[in-house]
């Protein structure tokens, strides 16, 4: 019985490890940095919508048509107003 449980547990661990393909924290950080560079979005929201819309980073990079349309629709909720007067108040050195 113990051998059966050990074998079953080992199989489950291997299955989960092989599936992988999800989003790591580093990959989410890269998407967040892209969002910050673009501006105009709540970047936490942007990352959440990217993770919801794309199965993995590979599909995000490919941006296939169906997932891309879903993503573009979803990020509308993440848009924020940019205060252009704040840019005028920056000091230059």
pLDDT at residue number 1:
60
| Three-state secondary structure call for residue 11 | helix
pLDDT at residue number 29:
97
d(CA 34, CA 42): 12
> Which parts of the chain sit beneath pLDDT 70?
1-21, 82-93
pLDDT at residue number 9:
47
pLDDT at residue number 16:
41
pLDDT at residue number 38:
93
d(CA 52, CA 71): 8
pTM for this prediction: 0.66
pLDDT at residue number 11:
42
């Amino acid at each position: 019985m113990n051998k059966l449980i050990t074998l079953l547990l080992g199989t489950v661990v291997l299955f989960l490890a092989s599936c992988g393909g999800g989003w790591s924290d580093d990959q989410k950080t890269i998407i967040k940095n892209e969002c910050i560079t673009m501006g105009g979005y709540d970047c936490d929201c942007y990352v959440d919508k990217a993770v919801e819309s794309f199965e993995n980073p590979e599909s995000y990079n490919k941006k296939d048509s169906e997932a891309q349309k879903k993503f573009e629709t979803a990020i509308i909720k993440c848009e924020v107003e940019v205060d252009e007067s704040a840019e005028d108040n920056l000091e230059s050195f």
